Amino acid sequence: MIEIPANIRGGIPEAVIRKLSVMDELTQEAFLTEFKQEKKSALVGFILLLLCPGWHYFYLCKVWMNLLFWISLGGFFFWWFIDLFRISEMVREYNKTVAIGVLKEIQFLSHATLA
């Protein structure tokens, strides 16, 4: 198994890491490459929250949450204040979802090429 960098390993669910451990190195490399391209940064999310309130939801592909955020003016800034503390967890959850999606895609593609 290839070595997964610590900063990336923390954003990948343990179940995905177990699945990766039984795959060949080429598939593992493909997973890491795709995951690195699709994952989001908590720092960028935080900067967007501070400079352009509401845009952090676009960044995390939550268009409807952005709309609600703007309609309520960020919950009269209460919602905005809470998001200051939630943004890193929101990005972490997004990245976990991305890791699972990338794994499913790679598994599908590897089975499709074998058939």
Judge contact between 108 and 87, C-beta under 8 A: no
Give, in order, the Cα–Cα distances in Å from 59 to each of 3, 4, 13, 16: 29, 25, 21, 24
Residue-level pLDDT at 114? 61
Instruction: Report d(CA 79, CA 35) in Å as an integer.
Output: 30
This model's pTM is above 0.85:
yes
Instruction: Report d(CA 37, CA 71) in Å as an integer.
Output: 32
Residue-level pLDDT at 111? 72
Rounded average pLDDT over 65-69? 91
In tens, the pLDDT along 83-105 reads: 999 999 999 999 999 999 999 99
In tens, the pLDDT along 24-66 reads: 899 899 999 999 999 999 999 999 999 998 899 999 999 999 9
Residue-level pLDDT at 115? 56
What is the identity of the amino acid at 2?
A: I
The conformation of residue 23, written as its DSSP 8-state character, comes to: S
Instruction: Report d(CA 38, CA 97) in Å as an integer.
Output: 10
Judge contact between 2 and 74, C-beta under 8 A: no
Residue-level pLDDT at 6? 84
Judge contact between 91 and 84, C-beta under 8 A: no
